[in-house]
Amino acid sequence: MTQRPTSPRAPAHWLLPSLLLLLAIALGACSRETPEARLRQAVGALGEAIEARDAGAIEDWLAEDFIGPDAMDRDAARRMAALMFLRYRDIGVTLGPARTEMSGSHATVRFEALLTGGGGRLLPDSARAYQVESGWRLEDGEWRLTSVDWSGNR
């Protein structure tokens, strides 16, 4: 019986595929976003919808049972946004740092928002800072705004 000579390179046929598999697993784990990161993206996307003056896109982020100040429902929120978009040609939204409290599929996000509106000139016609508290719920893998309340800073 003859014995095959062993080579120090013999394990290479499984080493490279194993390293590639580990790299793919590591990259996959890194690309999965945490629920909090997805929530922060949702808050940012809602701000972008406001700046884009898209009342329909704003409504898309609202849960069916959304409730706002003075018992504002989802449809009233969309109508209020559309009215503001008619009043102000340019809308700007600057969000301050968010403080997020996660509790399973629910979250509360508090932040300061600076809203500006104007006619497209260099300076806005109107600017105001608000303290915002928003409630969010995870629905079918997407965060939806369930409630919002704000108070203006003077």
Q: Looking at domain 35-152, which CATH architecture does it have?
A: Roll (3.10)
pTM given for the model:
0.73
pLDDT, one tens digit per residue, over 59-102 is: 999 999 999 999 999 999 999 999 988 888 788 888 889 999 99
pLDDT digit string, tens, across residues 21-38? 544 554 445 446 889 999
DSSP class per residue in the chain:
-PPPPP-TTTTHHHHHHHHHHHHHHHHHHHHSPPHHHHHHHHHHHHHHHHHTT-HHHHHHHEEEEEE-GGG--HHHHHHHHHHHHHH-SEEEEEE---EEEEETTEEEEEEEEEEEEESSSSS-SEEEEEEEEEEEEEETTEEEEEEEEEEE--
Task: Break the chain into its structural domains and give their ranges.
Answer: 35-152
